[in-house]
Amino acid sequence: MIYKLEVPELAEDVQEVRVLEWHGNVGTMFEVGDMIVELETHKAIVEIRAGQPGFFRKIEVPAGEWCKTGVPLGLCSDAADEALPAEAGGAVNMLVRFEIA
């Protein structure tokens, strides 16, 4: 299954975030608890960690760019070779945990 990585509901007033750094490349496998990406909100730096195992498949928003809440940051999948959809919109949300750095 394909999952979309969205900016989680970090705080009620977070409107958009800056993507600071992606951890791992396209094709990398991650376990639960692995850091996937660091984001910067207006208040803090947030570490997004995997809440499920899988493969990292696509970066929608590169480091240094901005992303509004509710917009996909990237795509992941259970298996390394699943075909990616044309549009990320329909995909299910990936489970993540986040930590204020």
66 sits near another protein (criterion: CB under 8 A):
yes
Which among 7-15, 50-58, 70-78, 82-90 is the span making contact with another protein, rule CB under 8 A? 7-15
DSSP string for residues in 6-69: E----STT--EEEEEEE-S-TT-EE-TT-EEEEEE-SS-EEEEEESS-EEEEEESS-TT-EEET
- Go through the chain and tell me how many residues it has: 101
The bridge status of strand 72-77 relative to strand 96-100 is: unpaired
Which among 24-32, 37-45, 48-56, 74-82 is the span making contact with another protein, rule CB under 8 A? 37-45
16 sits near another protein (criterion: CB under 8 A):
yes
Smallest distance, another protein to C-beta of residue 38, A: 15
Which among 19-27, 34-42, 51-59, 75-83 is the span making contact with another protein, rule CB under 8 A? 34-42
Choose which of 2, 5, 7, 14 interacts with another protein (CB under 8 A). 14
> How far apart are alpha carbons 37 and 47 in whole angstroms?
6
Query: Which residues bind to another protein, rule: CB under 8 A?
Result: 13-16, 18, 40-43, 66
